[in-house]
């Protein structure tokens, strides 16, 4: 598990260091992306009914890769976009929101952001595909 160092102070004989786990950065990115209009989900993850995911112990970090340095972060995400949206604008909005959140919460600089669009679907198609799969799996477990 890599750690990122955001703050290192050496004042008055006290040396202090703040670090962040990769998982922390991935969670920040996952939460931010779940609020971007035009992105239905991360590839390999479903974030409709966001609160239910935590109750079901699903991993909010699936579909997100990060490289964390001492002062900088690079992020790779794979997403499913909503059909009939301007994906370029969705991308720009996503970059800004992720950058703001990472800088605000950690003090680290987002220096690279790569987003791969793996599919486009209507919200209904997305819910049918992924909710239907969840319902079929839960029926088999009873």
CA triple 26-28-30, angle to 5 deg? 65
- Percentage of the chain modeled with pLDDT above 90: 58
φ/ψ region of 27 (left if φ > 0, alpha if ψ in -120 to 50, else beta) reads alpha
Domain with 127, as residue range(s), is 3-140
Pick the residue with more confidence: 66 or 138? Answer: 66
List pLDDT tens digits, range 82-135.
999 999 999 999 999 999 999 999 999 999 999 999 999 999 998 888 776 544
DSSP state of 71: S
CA triple 16-66-10, angle to 5 deg? 10
List pLDDT tens digits, range 23-68.
999 999 999 999 999 999 998 655 544 444 444 445 678 889 999 9
- The pTM for the full model equals 0.76
CATH of the domain at 20: 3.30.70.1350
What mean pLDDT is reported for the chain?
Answer: 82
Please determine, for residue 76, whether its predicted confidence score (pLDDT) is greater than 70. Answer: yes
Q: Are 40 and 123 in contact (CB under 8 A)?
A: yes
Alpha helices in 1-142 (DSSP H): 22-34, 50-55, 87-106, 123-140
Total count of domains within the chain: 1
């Amino acid at each position: 598990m890599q750690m990122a160092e955001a703050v290192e102070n050496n004042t008055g004989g006290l040396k202090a260091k703040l670090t962040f786990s990769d998982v922390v950065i991935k969670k920040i990115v996952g939460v931010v992306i779940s609020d971007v209009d035009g992105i239905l989900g991360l590839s390999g993850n479903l974030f409709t009914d966001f609160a239910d995911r935590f109750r079901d112990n699903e991993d909010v970090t699936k579909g997100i890769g990060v490289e964390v340095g001492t002062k900088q972060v690079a992020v790779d995400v794979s997403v499913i976009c909503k059909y009939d949206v301007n994906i370029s604008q969705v991308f720009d909005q996503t970059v800004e929101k992720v950058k703001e959140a990472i800088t605000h919460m950690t003090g680290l600089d987002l220096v690279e952001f790569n987003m791969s669009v793996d599919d486009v679907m209507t919200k209904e198609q997305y819910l049918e595909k992924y909710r239907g799969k969840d319902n079929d799996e839960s029926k088999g477990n009873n």
